[in-house]
């Protein structure tokens, strides 16, 4: 099967922060891959706009280096690099002042194409950029802005940011990125749920025992210590990425696969979430790796604060108070410096109501696991008879619903989340972007949890680097006679 690449309409994409880490690691390498795939029309332009004092050639050199470093299949595509670099321009600009804006305006003047502005800068500059764009006449009805996370640090700041952006842009022009939503498997989750008759009748508390969502990282805070220590796992991961996954797994079938129908259903899930009880949360902070402290310091050393109370791990249990999910717990877990890098949603079904087999045949449960990284794919554990003579013994086997085998290597072409999302921005499709009210609702649920920790002076429990988190997280499950799936790559 051959994958179809449909070129998007001509566009100018301005990347504010076009020399930064995210632009170099993700945005520009992703655009280059779309260029190689033939999705970028020949007249499309990418304009880097940042503080560095570069000219266009200097910027093209910087981007060439970034692509060579971060595109894993660069060797196959090197001959296309020049064609891509020719599409790049650069403007030195100050988001807070007036420098560079006239140059940018001149560059964009007189073109009749889609204009997209990617705010890949500190969120403290989002408001300035929106204001300058409007001041210089670049915020017209056809333009759109892409904003990066974090979107606020609590409900109040998110509201303020939404209000600021709304002064200059309509909601339909604002694309709030959560790159988890751009992952192939996340969209496949919707295809599996809503494209098959098989799952939906079972997708409720009558048949589902519980659902686990794990996003485990092996990295520590690295060079982001100062930022991370003001944020923590709850703000950095749960409020956005895990919440989005929870919404997609739990939402009602939308009437149509269109942006507002999908986002309305996600919003209902967030609004139906129960407040989390303090004893249903485990917080942790990673400790130094024994014998390797110099390379892998503990959390407090890494952030430079021996008394830091910020969590690098959180596990919690929550419920969704609606007809579909009443009684089915959702367990969320995320952490840094864990045993493996793994993002997975696991739907654990109930046991059959009655076993017709002998007791030693064992009791089994179907487990649907949706794996986002690494090795994106969906597997359903089904129970069959263990082959061979010797009576009826049951065994679980995985029914692999990974698409590579069925669709062939081209059909299963993996498109990075950023590539897909940027192309969606150009197409004007907001389905995989968060709406302002969703973000606010997610903060409204998260804020009391964080405020509770602050009020109680809660101190996160230490956990070993390379483990699956603090013992409290296991206790949370054990109390319910359940267990976490092992974190494995």
Does 122 bind ligand NAD (CB under 6 A)? Our answer is yes
Window 150-169: contact mask with ligand NAD (x via CB under 6 A): x-------------------
Residue 297 carries which DSSP code? -
50/303 with CB nearer ligand NAD? 50
Asked about 354 being catalytic, the answer comes back as no
Does 277 bind ligand NAD (CB under 6 A)? Our answer is no
Stretch that binds ligand NAD, among 109-117, 144-152, 350-358, 437-445 (CB under 6 A): 144-152
Residue of 40, 60, 67, 120 that binds ligand NAD (CB under 6 A) = 120
Residue of 13, 14, 17, 192 that binds ligand NAD (CB under 6 A) = 17
Q: How far is the CB of 221 from ligand NAD (least distance, A)?
A: 12
Q: How many CB atoms lie within 10 A of CB 23?
A: 24
Does 467 bind ligand NAD (CB under 6 A)? Our answer is no
Does 94 bind ligand NAD (CB under 6 A)? Our answer is yes
14/273 with CB nearer ligand NAD? 14
Does 55 bind ligand NAD (CB under 6 A)? Our answer is no
- For residues 84 and 206, give the distance between their C-alpha atoms in angstroms, rounded to a whole number: 53
Does 335 bind ligand NAD (CB under 6 A)? Our answer is no
- For residues 335 and 187, give the distance between their C-alpha atoms in angstroms, rounded to a whole number: 24
**CB–CB of 60/85 below 8 Å?**
yes
Q: Which residue is nearest to ligand NAD (CB)?
A: 20
Q: Is the sign of the CA dihedral 333, 339, 342, 348 positive or negative?
A: negative
**CB–CB of 111/13 below 8 Å?**
no
Residue of 12, 89, 115, 148 that binds ligand NAD (CB under 6 A) = 148
Q: Is the peptide bond before 258 cis (omega within 30 degrees of 0)?
A: no
- For residues 258 and 430, give the distance between their C-alpha atoms in angstroms, rounded to a whole number: 8
- CA-to-CA dists, residue 230 to 179, 221, 483, angstroms: 22, 12, 31
Residue 236: burial class (beta carbons within 10 Å; 0-12, 13-18, 19+) = buried
φ/ψ of 283, rounded to 5, equals: -115, 145
Q: How far is the CB of 263 from ligand NAD (least distance, A)?
A: 21
- For residues 266 and 228, give the distance between their C-alpha atoms in angstroms, rounded to a whole number: 27
Q: How far is the CB of 395 from ligand NAD (least distance, A)?
A: 42
Q: How far is the CB of 52 from ligand NAD (least distance, A)?
A: 5
65/293 with CB nearer ligand NAD? 65
- For residues 233 and 237, give the distance between their C-alpha atoms in angstroms, rounded to a whole number: 5
Q: How far is the CB of 300 from ligand NAD (least distance, A)?
A: 23
Stretch that binds ligand NAD, among 13-21, 277-285, 415-423, 427-435 (CB under 6 A): 13-21
SS3 call for 238 = helix
Task: Find the length of the chain.
Answer: 489
Does 230 bind ligand NAD (CB under 6 A)? Our answer is no
Does 96 bind ligand NAD (CB under 6 A)? Our answer is yes
Residue of 22, 40, 303, 434 that binds ligand NAD (CB under 6 A) = 22
Residue 320 carries which DSSP code? B
121/316 with CB nearer ligand NAD? 121
Does 50 bind ligand NAD (CB under 6 A)? Our answer is yes
Q: How far is the CB of 1 from ligand NAD (least distance, A)?
A: 33
Does 486 bind ligand NAD (CB under 6 A)? Our answer is no
The pair of three-digit structure tokens given for residue 274, joined into one six-digit string: 């129960």
- For residues 293 and 306, give the distance between their C-alpha atoms in angstroms, rounded to a whole number: 15
The pair of three-digit structure tokens given for residue 332, joined into one six-digit string: 């969320």
Cα-Cα-Cα-Cα dihedral of 241, 243, 249, 251, to 10°?
-130
- For residues 471 and 283, give the distance between their C-alpha atoms in angstroms, rounded to a whole number: 10
Catalytic residues: 241
**Site residues for ligand NAD per CB under 6 A:** 16-23, 50-52, 93-96, 120-123, 125, 148-150
């Amino acid at each position: 099967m051959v994958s179809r690449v449909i070129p998007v309409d001509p566009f100018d994409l301005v990347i504010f922060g076009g020399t930064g880490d995210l632009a170099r690691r993700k945005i520009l390498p992703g655009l280059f891959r779309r260029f190689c795939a033939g999705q970028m029309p020949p007249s499309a332009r990418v304009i880097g706009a940042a503080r560095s004092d570069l000219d266009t050639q200097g910027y093209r050199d910087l981007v060439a280096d970034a692509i060579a470093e971060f595109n894993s299949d660069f060797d196959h595509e090197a001959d296309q690099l020049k064609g891509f670099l020719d599409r790049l321009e650069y403007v030195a600009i100050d988001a807070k002042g007036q420098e560079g804006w006239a140059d940018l305006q001149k560059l964009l003047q007189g073109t009749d194409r889609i204009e997209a502005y990617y705010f890949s800068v500190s969120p403290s500059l989002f408001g300035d950029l929106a204001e300058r764009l409007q001041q210089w006449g670049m915020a017209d009805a056809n333009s759109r802005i892409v904003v990066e996370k974090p979107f606020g640090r609590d409900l109040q700041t998110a509201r303020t940011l939404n209000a600021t952006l709304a002064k200059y842009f309509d909601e339909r022009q604002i694309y709030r990125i959560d790159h988890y939503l751009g992952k192939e498997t996340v969209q496949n989750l919707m295809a599996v749920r809503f494209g098959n008759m098989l799952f939906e009748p079972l997708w409720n508390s009558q048949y589902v025992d519980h659902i686990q969502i794990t996003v485990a990282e092996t990295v520590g805070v690295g060079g982001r210590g100062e930022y991370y220590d003001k944020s923590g796992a709850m703000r950095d991961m749960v409020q956005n990425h895990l919440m989005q996954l929870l919404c997609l797994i739990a939402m009602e079938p939308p009437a149509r696969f269109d942006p507002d129908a999908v986002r309305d259903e996600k919003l209902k899930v967030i609004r139906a979430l129960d407040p989390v009880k303090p004893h249903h949360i485990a917080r942790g902070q990673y400790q130094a790796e024994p014998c390797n402290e110099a390379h892998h310091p503990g959390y407090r050393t890494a952030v430079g604060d021996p008394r830091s109370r910020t969590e690098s791990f959180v596990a919690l249990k929550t419920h969704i108070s609606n007809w579909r999910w009443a009684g089915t717990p959702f367990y969320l877990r995320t952490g840094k410096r864990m045993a493996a890098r793994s993002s997975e949603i696991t739907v654990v079904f109930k046991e059959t109501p009655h076993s017709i087999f002998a007791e030693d045949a064992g009791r089994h449960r179907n487990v649907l696991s949706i794996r986002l990284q690494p090795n994106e794919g969906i597997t359903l554990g089904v129970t069959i008879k263990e082959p061979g003579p010797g009576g009826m013994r049951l065994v679980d086997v995985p029914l692999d619903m990974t698409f590579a085998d069925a669709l062939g290597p081209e059909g299963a072409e993996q498109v990075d989340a950023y590539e897909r999302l940027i192309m969606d921005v150009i197409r004007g499709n907001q389905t995989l972007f968060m709406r302002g009210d969703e973000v606010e609702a997610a903060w409204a649920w998260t804020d009391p949890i964080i405020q509770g920790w602050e009020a109680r002076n809660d101190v996160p429990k230490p956990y070993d680097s390379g483990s699956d988190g603090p013992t409290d997280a296991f206790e949370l499950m054990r109390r319910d006679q359940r267990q976490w799936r092992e974190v494995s790559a």
